[in-house]
Structure 1
């Protein structure tokens, strides 16, 4: 456990370095957008290629895909009930933020230092179900409540958006190859392994660069309601799965830790596309990062 806490401390230090670089104006927040694209479109796909190379897909791993998807549906349903009396724009903004989880940037660096590549495999499977929620359900919600008249919500639109997600397409590719037993050529694996080593430190630096603490008092009540719904449902679902599912420890740990992760970074993109309050969405997303980090540390210390 001492080694585990030390790894968390290292992660905090790297995040603090990223935040310090932004505060000192050596790196600007807009620079983080380019770094984010690099992580999502290169280092993360390479990490997935290395992680899934040669693994055997077991039934317990398929359960993680289902769990990631079902959790998204459940918390979205709770959000529909809880915020049903809110103004239309508020409904769209908070409801689109509830279902998705930030696994690619937030979870992987922590999981990699704690559980190694085995842990990445489990969380990657969980993220497959989560990806369909982010690019399907969250996008649907954001579009449905949008005041942007030219936006047309069609199945084709959602499918096109999903097909443009490099991480999601990589998930599906490596998953299919693993199921049918085809291995990628060794040079591709070797190059991917070299690039994938940059994913953990760059992801943590990016979290620090995007970290901000600006609040508008008028939004505090709404933020509080959102956070209560998000983490109450997460804790209830995670503990139920951990105590009741008849699968190995790592499967149950993945679910209970996975649902505690912060809001997906995609909501920032959706807030721009559908004309929601970007400052509110950004601030609330940052709050979930801080709270999730503390909850993950506490949960991991308790369960491991």
Structure 2
């Protein structure tokens, strides 16, 4: 029999998202306001929630196991991602690999798992978020900037790790737990209403930011993100939930977290590192929010002992559906030419440069080797009756590539074409001298 209480709490959480959508429709809130709200949640309400939950936790053994599993999983995805996207343009490869890492645990998993399975589930989610913070705010940040020529300054990275508010809250909580010291009552009383505002604020902001406007050129990249992120995440989550000796509800939380959406903070990373990728990252964030919400609802309505099997079947289905398209897009090009112009909205498929057929490259020099026409043989009005000027003029009129005309012009002027009387118009020179 299905327990309706978690579903009721889940419906309340979804209603906050719908309120955010309505607020944007009515122009009450705009995306800029929602991003400011998310920033406030990350810097204020989330640290308060972390401090309170760690203060209430008594045993961190299960949390340490979950954090270790999450960190190892992201390391494997990092290595596999760079291998899978090795043929992509460096800036595009960095964005694609980063979108395989980390989860929106604080803004997505915390509210839903707390509504479904209570505070014990929330503590498991927070334990995973300890490792996830290092991945999302450090590892992914470095990956986004890895394609830039100036790279990332080590001092800035160390300062970010040492002063980022959620990480500081984790450091303080672990230190207090190691010292077996609890927060004073006045501190917990002050932090309680702030922490309680975390979930509604985040869910309303997600509703305001919700928007899906896909473009055809982004189809290959989106297919790669959704296939690898959800296919591998659901399958690995099902295997871990079925094999690891974790107490309830840790296996359910692990499955939900491995199917969480792309962190919204990646939009800011893309804007700072490579503006060309902003539209794709924003679209991936919104699409994964929808997909993850559907998975959470599915896990909420099915019996708990069936969630590993359902997750495995769903993960295999995603891989079977998306892998053929991803493998086709990942093929390296046969002939590569550099692209002339790049726009901010362009996001290239698997080939890092523009691939063209060989036949489109070679014919550019064919007019110079073709047989002379009657017009050219007549030499009317051309220099000294020789045909080289005629060849040059004819090639410049009809050649689709200006560099081909310039090359033939050099050939004619240097006397490397024969006169009608035989011989050449000038001394023969090596290829290096006139190229």
Q: Same fold (TM over 0.5)?
A: yes
Looking at structure 2, the residues matched to 289 and 54 of structure 1 have their Cα atoms a distance apart, in angstroms, of 30
- Would the aligned equivalents of 1:122 and 1:251 in 2 still touch at CA under 8 Å? yes
Aligned to 1:2: 4
- Would the aligned equivalents of 2:121 and 2:250 in 1 still touch at CA under 8 Å? no
Aligned to 2:222: 223
**Are positions 1:80 and 2:79 aligned together?**
no
Aligned to 1:142: 144
Looking at structure 1, the residues matched to 39 and 265 of structure 2 have their Cα atoms a distance apart, in angstroms, of 12
Structure 1 alignment gaps of length 5 or more: none
Structure 2 alignment gaps of length 5 or more: 305-435
TM-score (norm 2): 0.66
Aligned to 1:25: 27
Aligned to 1:302: 302
- Would the aligned equivalents of 1:50 and 1:193 in 2 still touch at CA under 8 Å? yes
Task: Give the secondary structure class of the aligned counterpart of 2:120.
Answer: helix
1:45-80: CA deviations, max 9, x gaps? 111122122422332221011012112112222322
1:189-208: CA deviations, max 9, x gaps? 01111211111211110110
Equivalent runs, 1:230-245 vs 2, <5 Å = 230-245=229-244
Equivalent runs, 1:42-191 vs 2, <5 Å = 42-146=44-148, 149-154=149-154, 156-191=155-190
Tell me which structure has the larger Cα radius of gyration.
2
Looking at structure 1, the residues matched to 207 and 164 of structure 2 have their Cα atoms a distance apart, in angstroms, of 24
**Alpha carbons of 1:75 and 1:151: their partners in 2 closer, same or farther (altered >3 Å)?**
closer
Looking at structure 2, the residues matched to 130 and 71 of structure 1 have their Cα atoms a distance apart, in angstroms, of 10
**Are positions 1:291 and 2:276 aligned together?**
no
1:79-138: CA deviations, max 9, x gaps? 222212222221011111111100111111112222232222111110011111112321
Task: Give the secondary structure class of the aligned counterpart of 1:171.
Answer: helix
- Would the aligned equivalents of 1:67 and 1:255 in 2 still touch at CA under 8 Å? no
Looking at structure 1, the residues matched to 178 and 124 of structure 2 have their Cα atoms a distance apart, in angstroms, of 15
- Would the aligned equivalents of 1:140 and 1:153 in 2 still touch at CA under 8 Å? no
> How far is the alpha carbon of 1:297 from its aligned partner?
1.6
> More helix by proportion, 1 or 2?
1
* Higher relative contact order (Cα pairs below 8 Å, separated by 6+ residues): 1
Looking at structure 2, the residues matched to 162 and 300 of structure 1 have their Cα atoms a distance apart, in angstroms, of 35
**Alpha carbons of 1:48 and 1:152: their partners in 2 closer, same or farther (altered >3 Å)?**
closer
